């Protein structure tokens, strides 16, 4: 059973918006359900005002697509839905069509853990219009959240550098799935462990933890509480020292560690959870070092995020393990990625492609037409530029990349620069082409990818913009299409006004 099925039930096919089903019904009635279509999933802006984004969620997206089928229970529910006139919303023959429906599209995707930039398709779905449309909402649910959290985690790891980071967020997460998906995505993004046991089991993530204030409160004294915990966990104790007075707490931890030492006890760490974390960690470090406990870790928690971690490190805090919850799993400062899934090409009856786009007054909201691919140029130092191009059109030899938001910003790439195309085939006619990498491999990939970005793009505050844009002839094609559509709109308006 896949992890999604373990978590929920055999069919997730109703986990979508009603309008996906009403459009599916409409396509079916129009006789265009099987028309070949191409959709792309992409986002418009890097989250957290950052310079890069970490793609995550693909394994779950693929699991979802592969399980797509409507069970009898699903169909019974759909048959119970009523239209305005109280007739069934969907006719029976359509439900019979859904009963036999399986996902048979081609899916190309950028591997999980890759760094990605606005407008780049993370997933491209090509196949029957009805199917490719139907999966919009769940694909977005999965990819938007995991990509957001993986990016937040990467930023936290950027701040924490070589220190260990543990994800502590379950209690503050957006519901049950929020906590599990966040734990997975945070691990993709670079945190080292989670306190969430089910996430540990399902996704094979290392689990770690300390104890709560209630443990200390449950005993006569703080020292009694530490001693009891120490006896139960002689090799794994991290004492939370701030229930009453932090530095007193550190002294009690040291006394207990000394008392239990003859039994083989070794204090793994102390945790600070309030107060001035710089001052307290420096003082705690002194006390521990004086007691010959230089390898006892100092863990900190308390509403931390990448900015506070960065600042604490700059202030000289002696913390070497970070427990991060709320800010990470809720992506507190930007709780949604805003990824979208747009139709970009549809085969006509004559077999030719019609490249389509969604117009918008805002340039950044006008979608890209065509069958898109992302080409990443790189040199010995790392990534140089990304170019989105239309696979269905010839590529000029001389590469010129145009910013999608400002066509006066252009970058030319010398002929012969090394490149790779980022979208890779994952499903062919709905069948998995090869096993997807496990989380450890995804993490390794993420670390390598971030390592290939220039420092100025990695920095947390006001990063430099990585050059990513549209191939110049593709940009021109899009501009012409936008102008033609606008003209058509204006003519229609004039006709309407003349009537």
Ligand X SMILES: O=P(O)(O)OC[C@H]1O[C@H](OP(=O)(O)OP(=O)(O)O)[C@H](O)[C@@H]1O
Ligand Y SMILES: O=C(O)c1cccnc1
Ligand Z SMILES: Nc1ncnc2c1ncn2[C@@H]1O[C@H](COP(=O)(O)OP(=O)(O)OP(=O)(O)O)[C@@H](O)[C@H]1O
Number of residues that bind ligand X (CB under 6 A): 15
Shorter beta-carbon distance to ligand Z: residue 306 or 449:
306
Taking the CA atoms of the chain, what radius of gyration do you get in angstroms?
27
Q: Chain centroid to CA 498: how far?
A: 50
**Closest approach of ligand Z to the CB of residue 277, in Å:** 4
Question: Of 23-31, 174-182, 254-262, 295-303, which segment contacts ligand X by CB under 6 A?
Answer: 295-303
Q: What share of the chain is helix, strand, coil (3-state, %, to 5)?
A: 40, 20, 40
- 326's contact among ligand Z, ligand X, ligand Y, none, with CB below 5 to 8 A by partner kind, is ligand X
Shorter beta-carbon distance to ligand X: residue 101 or 304:
304
- 210's contact among ligand Y, ligand Z, ligand X, none, with CB below 5 to 8 A by partner kind, is ligand Y
Contact map string, positions 267 to 286, toward ligand Z, x by CB under 6 A: -------xxxxx--------
Distance CA 199, CA 168 (A): 12
What are the angstrom distances between the C-alpha of 283 and each of 42, 211, 222, 317, 401?
A: 48, 22, 19, 10, 53
Shorter beta-carbon distance to ligand Z: residue 170 or 387:
170
**Closest approach of ligand Z to the CB of residue 389, in Å:** 45
**Residue 466: DSSP 8-state:** P
- And the tokens for 232? 């139960």
Residue ranges of E strands in 307-371: 321-324, 340-347, 353-355
Residues 6+ apart with CB under 8 A from 402: 409, 410, 469, 470, 471, 472, 475
Distance CA 465, CA 462 (A): 9
Helix (H) or strand (E) holding 108: strand 106-109
- 209's contact among ligand Z, ligand Y, ligand X, none, with CB below 5 to 8 A by partner kind, is ligand Y
Please check whether residue 380 is in contact with residue 367, taking contact to mean a CB–CB distance below 8 angstroms. no
How many other C-beta atoms can be found within 10 angstroms of the C-beta atom of residue 352? 7
What are the angstrom distances between the C-alpha of 388 and each of 49, 385, 393?
A: 22, 10, 12
Q: What angle do CA 225, 230, 232 make, to 5 degrees?
A: 100
Q: In the range 300-319, which residues lie near ligand Y by CB under 6 A?
A: 301
Shorter beta-carbon distance to ligand X: residue 226 or 265:
226
**Closest approach of ligand X to the CB of residue 182, in Å:** 12
Distance CA 217, CA 244 (A): 10
Shorter beta-carbon distance to ligand Y: residue 146 or 196:
196
Contact map string, positions 156 to 185, toward ligand X, x by CB under 6 A: ------------xx-xx-------------
138 touching ligand Y, by CB under 6 A: no
Half-sphere exposure of 158 (CA within 13 A, CB side): 26
Residue choice 26, 200, 209, 275 for contact with ligand Y (CB under 6 A) = 209
For the packed helices 18-30 and 92-99, what is the interaxial angle rounded to 10 degrees? 100
Shorter beta-carbon distance to ligand Z: residue 43 or 322:
322
What are the angstrom distances between the C-alpha of 486 and each of 344, 355, 362, 492, 497?
A: 17, 15, 13, 10, 16
Residue choice 33, 324, 357, 427 for contact with ligand X (CB under 6 A) = 324
Contact map string, positions 301 to 320, toward ligand Z, x by CB under 6 A: -xxx---x--xx--x-----
**Closest approach of ligand Y to the CB of residue 225, in Å:** 14
Residue choice 142, 148, 304, 321 for contact with ligand X (CB under 6 A) = 304
Q: In the range 200-239, which residues lie near ligand X by CB under 6 A?
A: 212
Contact map string, positions 150 to 169, toward ligand Y, x by CB under 6 A: ------------------x-
- Give me the numbers of helices (H) and strands (E) for the chain, helices first please: 18, 21
Distance CA 243, CA 238 (A): 14
249 touching ligand Y, by CB under 6 A: no
DSSP assignment of 61-97, as one string?
Answer: HHHHHHH----HHHHHHHHH-B-TTSSBSS-HHHHHH
**Closest approach of ligand Z to the CB of residue 273, in Å:** 6
**Closest approach of ligand X to the CB of residue 57, in Å:** 23
Shorter beta-carbon distance to ligand Z: residue 79 or 274:
274
Shorter beta-carbon distance to ligand Z: residue 274 or 407:
274
Q: In the range 172-201, which residues lie near ligand Y by CB under 6 A?
A: 195
Distance CA 180, CA 197 (A): 9
- 172's contact among ligand Y, ligand X, ligand Z, none, with CB below 5 to 8 A by partner kind, is ligand X
Residues that bind ligand Z (CB under 6 A): 274-278, 302-304, 308, 311-312, 315
Residues making contact with ligand Y (CB under 6 A): 168, 195, 209-210, 301, 323, 325
Binding site for ligand X (CB under 6 A): 168-169, 171-172, 212, 273, 301-304, 323-327
């Amino acid at each position: 059973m896949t992890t999604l099925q373990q978590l929920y039930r055999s069919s997730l096919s109703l986990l979508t918006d009603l309008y996906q089903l009403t459009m599916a019904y409409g396509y079916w009635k129009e006789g265009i359900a099987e028309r070949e279509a191409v959709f792309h999933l992409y986002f418009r802006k890097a989250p957290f005002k950052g310079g890069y984004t970490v793609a995550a969620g693909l394994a779950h997206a693929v699991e979802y697509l592969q399980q797509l089928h409507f069970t009898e229970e699903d169909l019974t529910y759909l048959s119970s839905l009523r239209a305005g006139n109280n007739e069934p919303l969907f006719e029976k023959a359509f439900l019979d069509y859904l009963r036999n429906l399986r996902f048979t599209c081609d899916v190309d995707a950028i591997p999980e853990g890759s760094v990605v930039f606005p407008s780049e398709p993370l997933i491209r779905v090509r196949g029957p219009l009805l199917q490719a449309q139907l999966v919009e909402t769940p694909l977005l649910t999965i990819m938007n959240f995991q990509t957001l959290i993986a990016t937040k985690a990467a930023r936290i790891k950027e701040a924490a550098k070589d220190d260990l980071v543990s994800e502590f967020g379950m209690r503050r997460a957006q519901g049950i799935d929020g906590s599990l998906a966040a734990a997975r995505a945070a691990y993709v993004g670079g945190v080292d462990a989670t306190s969430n046991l089910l996430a540990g089991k399902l996704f094979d993530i290392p689990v770690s933890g300390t104890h709560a204030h209630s443990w200390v409160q449950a005993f006569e004294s703080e020292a009694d509480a530490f001693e009891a915990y120490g006896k139960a966990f002689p090799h794994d104790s991290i004492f939370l020292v701030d229930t009453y007075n932090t530095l007193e707490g550190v002294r009690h931890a040291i006394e207990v560690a000394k008392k239990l030492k003859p039994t083989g006890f070794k204090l793994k760490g102390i945790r600070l959870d309030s107060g001035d974390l710089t001052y307290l960690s420096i003082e705690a470090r002194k006390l521990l070092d004086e007691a010959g406990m230089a390898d006892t870790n100092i863990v900190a928690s308390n509403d931390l995020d990448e900015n506070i971690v960065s600042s604490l490190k700059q202030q000289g805090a002696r913390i070497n393990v970070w427990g991060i919850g709320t800010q990470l799993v809720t992506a507190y400062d930007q709780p949604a990625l805003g990824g979208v899934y747009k139709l970009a090409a549809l085969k006509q009856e004559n077999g030719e492609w019609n490249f389509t786009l969604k117009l918008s007054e805002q340039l950044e909201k006008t979608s890209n037409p065509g069958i898109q691919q992302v080409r990443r140029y790189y040199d010995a130092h790392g990534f140089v530029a990304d170019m989105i191009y239309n696979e269905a059109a010839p590529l000029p030899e001389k590469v010129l990349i145009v910013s999608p938001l400002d066509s006066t910003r252009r970058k030319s790439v010398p002929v012969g620069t090394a490149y790779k195309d980022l979208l890779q085939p994952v499903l062919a006619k709905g069948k998995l082409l090869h096993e997807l990498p496990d989380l450890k491999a995804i993490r390794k990939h993420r670390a390598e990818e971030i390592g290939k970005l220039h420092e100025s793009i990695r920095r947390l505050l006001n990063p430099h913009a990585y050059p990513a844009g549209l191939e110049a002839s593709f940009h021109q094609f899009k501009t012409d299409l936008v102008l033609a559509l606008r003209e058509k709109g204006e003519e229609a308006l004039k006709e309407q006004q003349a009537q």
